Amino acid sequence: MATIDLTKETFKDTIEADGIVLVDYWAQWCGPCRQFAPTFQEVSDNHEDIVFAKVDTEAEPEIAAAVNIQSIPTLMVFRDGILVFAQPGALPKEALEDLISQARKLDMDDVRAQVAAEEAGRAQS
């Protein structure tokens, strides 16, 4: 599947959709970002059922600020609207494929229960 470019108009709806969404935060001037781009694209071609999206942090600074991007590239994985992975740095192809495999295996009922417990704990603080 081709990667899609996210904007502030499309970001929320995309990451909150059902299924797996990988988001690569990058900038044109970033060497590691440019090195990671072909890997991200190649892996996207192997997973038609997953949304592969990119956020140009220079063009969309509001998104970068909203998700607290500290360095680029940063990769985030959302599943069924829940952030399940976030890490700065470029991944090699094998690691990206492994990450996708792990995201597929998640028990989302368990993840939702963990999120609810964390939110309840914050509400009591």
Catalytic residues, by residue number, are: 30, 33
Q: How open is the CA angle 36-22-54, to the nearest 5 degrees?
A: 60
- Asked if 67 and 76 count as a contact pair (C-beta separation under 8 A), the reply is yes
**Rounded Cα distance, 79 and 33, in Å:** 23
